Amino acid sequence: MIQIGGTRVVMEEQSVNERVKNFRSVPFGYNAEEAIAEAQRCIQCIHGPCEKLCPVHMDIKAMIREIVAGNFKKAFFIAKKDNAIPAITGRVCPQEEQCEGVCPFSLTCNGINIGKLEAFVADWAMNNGVKEGFHIEEKPEKVAVIGSGPAGISCAVDLRKYGYKVTMFEALHKAGGVLQYGIPAFRLPKDIVDYEISYLTEVGVEVKLNHIVGQNIMFNELRKKFGAVFIGTGAGAPQFLGIEGERLKGLYSANEFLFRTNLMKAYKFPEYDTPIVCGNTIGVIGAGNVAMDVARCAIRLGAKDVYILYRRTKKEAPARDEELQHAIEEKLKFIELVNPTRVLGNEDGWVTGIELLKMKLGEPDKSGRPRPIKIEGSEFTMKLDTVVEALGSKPNRLFLDQTPELETTRWGTFKVDENLMTNIEGVVAGGDAIRGNATVILALGDGRKAAESIHNYILRRRK
Amino acid sequence: MIHKIIDKKDLCPGNYLIEVEASNVAQRFQPGQFVIIRIDEKGERIPLTVADFNTQKGTITLIFQVVGKSTKQLGILNVGDVVLDCVGPLGNPSEIKKFGRVICVGGGTGIACIYPLIRALADTGNEVISVIGARTASLLILENEITALGSRTCVATDDGSKGHHGFVTDVLMNLLDEYRNSGGVDRVIAIGPPVMMKAVADITKPRQIKTIVSLNSVMLDGTGMCGSCRVFIDGEMKLACIDGPEFDAHKVNFEDLISRLEMFKEKESEAINYYSSKAGVKK
């Protein structure tokens, strides 16, 4: 029987007790029957607000129709048409703020579980060896893509489909950017990332790993050798509070903690070479998605007590609801309204604790959230073995320093026009490199728009 | 991309030289910079010193001392074997110009790091005096190569088996006294163990001689992403990978550097034990 509205088909997950001991995916994903049942809840409303709010405007309704009909192959092609990495976005998009959040059902019951349906069709295609057939009409122009994260992937794939020769430059030893080093495997399994990224070589993108623009290839050289350049260098540089004690052993940036754990697989040490030292009691400063990722990695690395130290309250935490919920289920402890003033250490130079100042909430600030106000003299200390600063990251200086000719904002992001063109014609930028800390799907949207912008630029130049 | 080892030499017990195909690095390398390599899929990213590079052949020469699991594994590789990843050049090149009289102090494997610098400084018309040292004569590397560069070379060994019996810093002190009345010394460059670099800085600071050191803090990505290589220069946090590796020795907080280098010590012995036991099983 077709169910109108009703409740979501439950997504089976690893039990809390089990999952805190491994880095495997928390949700199991829908099977075919479950996917069809969830898809049947969709009433195919005329306006399709889900599609309008999707940064890449996927044909969500059409994808769902094909799932209902059991036509998974067709559903996959529909998803893939607008989104180069549906298995990834299906898992990491903030759907509750986008497609699922505007689903008419979200008012009365849960919106259609669009993310998990998207992941289902992508996984189905992967498991059944179904690949999109495409024909590329080769064009003579060459385009360079700097960075192999979500923005770069989407831009490179679209540029290939326009027919351009694309060379992608990645500084690290693996392509994928934040998908590889940032997002932990229990949220985004790495075999899925590897599979989605193999699409790049499939469409004929030349991927050059271990190539740092500005170190072994100069930016000016790229501009000479290539008809256009896309900058998708992300926001990979960590921020530190600048408080006393940051020299101590046992203090990490979130980037370092996640880089070791995810990309270098420190959770498999000593089978894998890269170590991580994670104590029994760990404090994570910040309450965004990255902070939750760090906290949940720490639990899996064996930490007994994991604290989130946040200067506002849980209600204002920037992390996605799902991440926050998962973290709380995993026994993470939330300490609200505190601001770190110094990190404490012993004579051997190891972290032993943190000094925190109590805060209270004041009037809303520019972000609309209440401003945290210091309560003078309210300092107290907490014993900790490990401290991780998850304060958000900013664009990498290494690249910025090499490109003084490119205009930037005061946050170090590149200034672009409505077509994502920088102040230099033919140099286009997108993703976190222009947005600071944003999402995978916004980066994909930028990559797509950038490819179109480059295409138009090249056509103009031909005349 | 894989990188083939095309030459290998045992320099002295526990110290190796390998020449590796890495044209992307060789094309751009300048003295003072370094590379990060990863041996295989499960490997860690380790920063290494580039002692030489050949732009025509597209190769770089790496010199390393066996200190942990990865360098042990690298030492076992032979000509024809490959290294999975090699990225670089990383870091900023050394400032090479005519300073006048420059003393270059190299200790242990730091000698490998300072060797291309000595050559570049000599080529730029500086009067270079090299002071190199090791624990014992058999561990002293590149002595002939450095002497062959034609400048004055002084040797020190901890046990007195060659040259001065004692530390490179004793020799440095004598040289500074010797040159005091003949124009002095314009710059000192020291690369070696942090304690050695600190001792050099302590000698040159009261004498107000500009001194440069190259810092080897714990690195991961080498591109400014992680902050693990953070060092404190005049109280300010800097990243050795993208702000350095060279810094003004008189501003470096060596205590923090030395302390932070201990961060993964226990894990390193765990790794080497695991590797040795595994290798043992294979035999």
Q: Same domain for B84 and B113?
A: no
Q: How far apart are CA B250 and CA B244, in angstroms?
A: 15
- Domain-ending residue, one of B42, B59, B90: B90
Contacts of B230 in chain A (CB under 8 A): 240, 246-247
Q: How far apart are CA A443 and CA A150, in angstroms?
A: 6
Locus of tokens 């999707």:
A54
What class has domain A16-127?
A: mainly alpha
Tokens of A30: 């829908």
Locus of tokens 């080497």:
B272
Contacts of B90 in chain A (CB under 8 A): 212, 215
Tell me B215's DSSP state: -
Architecture of domain A240-391: 3-Layer(bba) Sandwich (3.50)
**CATH label of the domain that carries residue B28:** 2.40.30.10
Residue ranges per structural domain of chain A:
16-127, 142-236+394-462, 240-391
Provide the number of structural domains found in chain B: 2
Q: Same domain for B107 and B196?
A: yes
Q: How far apart are CA A99 and CA A118, in angstroms?
A: 12
Locus of tokens 């270059």:
B104
Interface confidence, given as ipTM, is 0.94
Q: Same domain for B67 and B166?
A: no
The residues, any chain, with a CB within 8 Å of residue B245's CB and separated by 6 or more, are B32, B34, B91, B92, B214, B215, B216
Tokens of B47: 């920063």
Contacts of B238 in chain A (CB under 8 A): none
Q: What is the pLDDT of residue A396?
A: 86
Contacts of B27 in chain A (CB under 8 A): 216
**CATH label of the domain that carries residue B164:** 3.40.50.80
Contacts of B267 in chain A (CB under 8 A): 269-270, 275-277
Q: CB–CB of A185/A23 below 8 Å?
A: yes
pLDDT higher than threshold 70 for residue A2: no
Q: Is B70 on the interface with A (CB under 8 A)?
A: yes
Tokens of A385: 């073995």
Q: What is the pLDDT of residue B279?
A: 63
Tokens of B270: 């765990």
Q: Same domain for B59 and B116?
A: no
Q: Band the pLDDT of A134: cuts 50, 70, 90.
A: confident
Q: How far apart are CA B211 and CA B233, in angstroms?
A: 14
The residues that bridge with A389 in the sheet, in sequence order, are: A253, A285
The residues, any chain, with a CB within 8 Å of residue B97's CB and separated by 6 or more, are B124
The H or E element containing residue B13 is none
- CB contact (8 A) between residue B84 and residue A173: yes
Of A171, A242, A273, the CB nearest to B42: A273
**C-alpha distance across the termini of chain B, in Å:** 30
Q: Band the pLDDT of A346: cuts 50, 70, 90.
A: very high
What class has domain A142-236+394-462?
A: alpha beta
pLDDT averaged over every residue in chain A: 93
The residues that bridge with B53 in the sheet, in sequence order, are: B60
Task: Show the 3-state SS of chain A.
Answer: CCCCCCCCCCCCECCHHHHCCCCCCCECCCCHHHHHHHHHCCCCCCCCHHHHHCCCCCCHHHHHHHHHCCCHHHHHHHHHHHCCCHHHHHHHCCHHHCHHHHCHHHCCCCCCCHHHHHHHHHHHHHHCCCCCCCCCCCCCCEEEEECCCHHHHHHHHHHHHHCCEEEEECCCCCCCCHHHHCCCCCCCCHHHHHHHHHHHHHCCCEEECCCCECCCECHHHHHHHCCEEEECCCCCEECCCCCECCCCECEEEHHHHHHHHHHCCHHHCCCCCCCCCCCCEEEEECCCHHHHHHHHHHHHCCCCEEEEECCCCHHHCCCCHHHHHHHHHCCCEEECCEEEEEEEECCCCEEEEEEEEEEEEEEECCCCCEEEEECCCCCEEEECCEEEECCCEECCHHHHCCCCCCCECCCCCECCCCCCECCCCCEEECCHHHHCCCCHHHHHHHHHHHHHHHHHHHHHHHC
- CB contact (8 A) between residue A255 and residue B226: yes
- b/e per residue A324-356 (b: at least 16 CB within 10 A): bebbeebebebebbbbbbbbbbeeebbbbbbbb
Tokens of A295: 């906290």
| B256 domain-assigned | no
Cis peptide before B245 (omega within 30 of 0): yes
Q: How far apart are CA A434 and CA A54, in angstroms?
A: 19
| B260 domain-assigned | no
From residue B224, give the alpha-carbon distance in Å to each of B24, B90, B229.
20, 10, 9
A214: left (phi over 0), alpha (psi -120 to 50) or beta: left
Question: Measured in whole angstroms, how far is the alpha carbon of residue B118 from the centre of its chain?
Answer: 13
Domains A16-127 and A142-236+394-462 alike in fold: no
Q: Same domain for B166 and B121?
A: yes
Strand B246-248 to strand B211-214: parallel, antiparallel, or no bridges (unpaired)?
antiparallel
Per-residue pLDDT in tens (0 to 9) along chain B, 283 residues? 789 999 999 988 899 999 999 999 999 999 999 999 999 999 999 999 899 999 999 999 999 999 999 999 999 999 999 999 999 999 999 999 999 999 999 999 899 999 999 999 999 999 999 999 999 999 999 999 999 987 899 999 999 999 999 999 999 999 999 999 999 999 999 999 999 999 999 999 999 999 999 999 999 999 999 999 999 999 999 999 999 999 999 999 999 999 999 999 999 999 999 998 876 554 4
In the β-sheet with B246-248, what is the strand arrangement from edge to edge? Answer: B164-165, B152-157, B127-134, B101-107, B187-191, B211-214, B246-248
Looking at chain A, how many residues does it have? Answer: 463
Q: Same domain for B200 and B168?
A: yes
| B272 domain-assigned | no
| B275 domain-assigned | no
| B130 domain-assigned | yes
Each residue of A200-238: pLDDT tens digit? 999 999 999 999 998 888 999 999 999 999 999 999 899
* Chain B residues 201-260 within an 8 A CB cutoff of chain A: 220-221, 223-228, 230, 232, 237, 242, 253, 256, 259-260
Other CB atoms closer than 10 Å to residue A96's CB: what's the count?
Answer: 17
Question: Measured in whole angstroms, how far is the alpha carbon of residue A216 from the centre of its chain?
Answer: 27
Q: What is the pLDDT of residue A307?
A: 97
- CB contact (8 A) between residue B89 and residue A216: yes
Of A242, A277, A398, the CB nearest to B242: A398
The residues, any chain, with a CB within 8 Å of residue B63's CB and separated by 6 or more, are B11, B15, B16, B17, B49, B51, B109, B112, B141, B142
For residue B52, which of B149, B192, B197 has the smallest C-alpha distance?
Answer: B149
- CB contact (8 A) between residue A238 and residue B226: yes
Q: How far apart are CA B128 and CA B134, in angstroms?
A: 20
The residues, any chain, with a CB within 8 Å of residue B160's CB and separated by 6 or more, are B166
Q: What is the pLDDT of residue B7?
A: 95
Q: Is B89 on the interface with A (CB under 8 A)?
A: yes
Q: Band the pLDDT of A63: cuts 50, 70, 90.
A: very high
Each residue of A385-440: pLDDT tens digit? 999 999 988 888 888 888 889 999 988 899 999 999 999 999 999 999 999 888 89
| B195 domain-assigned | yes
**Which residue range(s) make up the domain with B116?**
101-214
Q: What is the pLDDT of residue A1?
A: 45
From residue B148, give the alpha-carbon distance in Å to each of A393, A449, B122, B145.
48, 59, 12, 5
- CB contact (8 A) between residue B260 and residue A173: no
A9 residue type, one letter: V
Strand A427-429 to strand A228-231: parallel, antiparallel, or no bridges (unpaired)?
parallel
| B269 domain-assigned | no
Q: Band the pLDDT of A3: cuts 50, 70, 90.
A: very low
Q: How far apart are CA A251 and CA A284, in angstroms?
A: 10
The H or E element containing residue B227 is none
| B243 domain-assigned | no
Query: Count of CB contacts below 8 A, A vs B?
Result: 127
pLDDT higher than threshold 90 for residue A365: no
Q: Same domain for B130 and B201?
A: yes
The residues, any chain, with a CB within 8 Å of residue A380's CB and separated by 6 or more, are A355, A356, A358
pLDDT higher than threshold 60 for residue A138: yes
Q: Same domain for B112 and B193?
A: yes
